[in-house]
Structure 1
Amino acid sequence: MEIDGVQVHGESGPPVLLLPGGAESCDGFFPGLVEGLTARVIVHDRPGTGTSTVDGSLAGAAAHLSALIDRLGCGPVVVVGQSLGGAAGVLLARDHPEQVAGLVLLDPTPINDARTCAGLERMTVALGRLASVPGLRRPLAAAFRAAALRSGRRQKLRPDCAAALARTAELDIPTLARSVRGITDLARGLREADLPRLPAVVVTADRKPDHAVRQAHERLATAFGGSVVSWPGATHSVHLDHPDEVLATVRELLARVSSAT
């Protein structure tokens, strides 16, 4: 059903808010997750992302999402966020802890690591500028698409996950650059000590223990009082290359949240 233009799947069970990565649309981003959960799953494109026609920024994400939860009357929610959506989930939990019952962060952008975020912002800004040069936008988009399709073939993704990967490969580079803008300042202002203790799982890609992103994820999990999990061969798109494990992880956290209420 739709509530004020927001899709809500399911009529009972704990509320789950999905936050996709980058500036992607939420619809279809998490294959099998909506259908596999006995929950009320909120599918919504926040301002500045997906199909939203409203300008927005990562800095304004927490306030917008908190207002959305209030408007739907469904809080507190379990947040499932991938990549930049995971960073938005962290900011929501920090700024509005009463709205968040639990977190499943899928290889989240490490908003608690200013150095990594600064590199990400520089890279995406540079890509955005390149994409604005006449004659370069189409070749850049084609290169991203080809790389994604090669990755999907190499990982032998199941059909619905391969289709989702193909959709995300059709990214709008300038929009992606705008969605990341300001993340360095947000990371510099985030103190792990300010994060609330709540049920949380941080799913990290298959990286070496000394990798900066892996270490940032471990610090996030510690700050929330949660745990870190990783699976062999998991990539940044862990929701696509390990969809069954992700679904099981979300189900387990929902069960923990439900049993505690």
Structure 2
Amino acid sequence: MPHIPGVLLLPGGAAPVDGFFPGLAEGLIADPGCRVLRHDRPPTLDGVTGHLHATIAEAGLGPVVVIGQSLGGAVAALLARDHPRDVAGLVLIDPSPVNDVALARRITQTMRTVSALHGLPVLGRVVQPLVGAAGANKHLRRATRPDVRAAWQRMKELDIPQLAQAVRGFDELAAGFRETDLPRLPAVVVTADRKPDAPMRRAHQRLAAALGGSLVSWPGADHNAQLTHPDEVLAACRDVVRRASGERR
């Protein structure tokens, strides 16, 4: 009987893992019967893969399938590079482009600007609600599942200084990242519904190819595909877990 690997969940940005992936842990526990480690990453990128390596060892779960969204997806890819024996498979949900220096620089520069505006006495009170509500309000109106609605509501309560701290140094990590250093393993990279020639989609396509995995997307999927398409994300995660399990018979 194949061994079912454990699963490590890494939320995006500086968000806590609680409620970030609605129904995902519960779905994986029910089928195929995974042990799930919900983990809040350290507030900075400094030494993050070493911290996760120690966390996995302490939990006695390795190697695990790592499921990460946005910055959590980039960290998952870095973990696979730095500690390949810890990782049985990857599901990267619209990961931050650690394999594209230009995009990584744009992200860090944007966050520096938003953080600086947020620190201004008057304008700062306007910036946080605008950034937090960007895209969330329309999804709140459309969401029918209570757990998904609750997750979108938390998106509106974005902590900008915390997020700015979380992405600090991301451009430097990207500058030292090589796709050829990644292991080949069961993997899916979920990308938002973008045009085929969009730079972010191309970065995701290269990441999937380097891992020997597949690139998937769904109509209407946005950066938070775990909320716009929770059932599809669960199915993709189950597929990777099963393939990782099969490889370890």
Q: Structure 1 length as normaliser, TM-score?
A: 0.89
CA distance in 1, matches of 2:79, 2:153: 29
1:29 matched residue in structure 2:
20
Relative to 1, partners in 2 of residues 1:157 and 1:233: Cα closer, same or farther, differing over 3 Å? farther
1:64 matched residue in structure 2:
51
1:45 matched residue in structure 2:
40
Does 2:98 correspond to 1:107?
A: no
Kindly report which structure 2 residues correspond to 1:159-178, keeping only aligned pairs within 5 A, or say none: 159-178=146-165
Q: Does the 8 Å contact 1:117/1:184 carry over to 2?
A: yes
CA distance in 2, matches of 1:29, 1:153: 15
Where 1:219 maps in the other structure, the secondary structure is: helix
In structure 1, give the amino acid aligned to 2:39: H
1:188 matched residue in structure 2:
175
In structure 2, give the amino acid aligned to 1:17: L
Further displaced range: 135-144 or 38-47: 135-144
In structure 1, give the amino acid aligned to 2:97: P
Aligned identity (percent) is: 56
Does 2:187 correspond to 1:200?
A: yes
Number of residue equivalences: 242
CA distance in 2, matches of 1:132, 1:237: 26
**Deviation string, structure 1 residues 71-93 (Cα, Å, up to 9, x no partner):** 11210010000000000001000
**Deviation string, structure 1 residues 5-24 (Cα, Å, up to 9, x no partner):** xxxxxxx9421000000000
Of residues 89, 101, 107, the one that matches 2:76 is 89
Where 1:186 maps in the other structure, the secondary structure is: helix
Where 1:171 maps in the other structure, the secondary structure is: coil
Kindly report which structure 2 residues correspond to 1:91-240, keeping only aligned pairs within 5 A, or say none: 91-153=78-140, 155-240=142-227
Where 1:109 maps in the other structure, the secondary structure is: coil
2:244 matched residue in structure 1:
257
Task: Tell me how far 1:152 sits from its aligned partner.
Answer: 1.3
Runs of at least 5 residues in structure 2 that lack an aligned partner in the other structure: none
- Where relative contact order (Cα < 8 A, 6+ residues apart) is larger, the structure is 2
Q: Structure 2 length as normaliser, TM-score?
A: 0.93
Does 2:67 correspond to 1:80?
A: yes
Structure 1 segments (4+ residues) deviating >4 Å? none
Further displaced range: 81-90 or 160-169: 160-169
Q: Does the 8 Å contact 2:140/2:153 carry over to 1?
A: no
**Deviation string, structure 1 residues 85-123 (Cα, Å, up to 9, x no partner):** 000001000000010000000000010000001000000
Where 2:37 maps in the other structure, the secondary structure is: strand
Relative to 1, partners in 2 of residues 1:142 and 1:108: Cα closer, same or farther, differing over 3 Å? same
Q: Does the 8 Å contact 1:197/1:223 carry over to 2?
A: yes
Task: Tell me how far 1:147 sits from its aligned partner.
Answer: 2.9
CA distance in 1, matches of 2:108, 2:11: 18
1:51 matched residue in structure 2:
none
